[in-house]
């Protein structure tokens, strides 16, 4: 299981990667492993929409369950990874790179600094 140290993590198992003024968001390797084979993603927030930290921005359907995706930060959605609609299993095989879900331009960078680092996230999940 991977825990990239450059990322920030939420207790709901999302990750955030700061890339200049935009943040990529996805689900963690732990989360995809717990969900099992992902068969469908439904991003309900549109590009250009404003979201608040903790808002539901979509859902992930796996063979055994459906789980909500929460926005780890407040800001404006600037991109949606539409490639995962055609190949949702990429979230299982590459959750931190090609399996990203949305890009958000943060409204408040302090929200990012308040997220967990990889060590705290590992403690949360008992890894």
pLDDT (tens digit per residue) in 26-82:
999 999 999 999 999 999 999 999 999 999 999 999 998 999 999 999 999 999 999
Helix H or strand E segment including 33: helix 29-35
Q: Which residues contact 122 (CB under 8 A, 6 or more apart)?
A: 3
CB atoms within 10 A of CB 3: 18
pTM: 0.93
Domains defined for the chain, CATH in brackets: 9-101 (2.40.50.100)
Closest CA to 26 of 9, 45, 44: 9
Distances (CA, A) of 103 to 35, 43, 62, 82: 22, 12, 22, 12
């Amino acid at each position: 299981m991977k825990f990239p140290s450059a990322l920030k993590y939420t207790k709901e198992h999302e990750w955030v990667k700061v890339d200049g003024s935009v943040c990529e968001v996805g689900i963690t390797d732990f989360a995809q492993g717990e969900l099992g084979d992902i068969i469908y993603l439904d991003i309900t927030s549109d590009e250009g929409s404003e979201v608040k930290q903790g808002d539901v921005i979509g859902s992930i359907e796996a063979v055994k369950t459906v789980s909500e995706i929460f926005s780890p930060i407040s800001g404006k959605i600037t991109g949606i990874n539409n490639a995962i609609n055609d190949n949702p299993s990429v979230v299982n095989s590459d959750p931190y790179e090609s399996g990203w879900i949305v890009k958000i331009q943060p409204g408040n960078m302090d929200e990012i600094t308040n997220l967990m680092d990889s060590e705290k996230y590992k403690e949360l999940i008992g890894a």
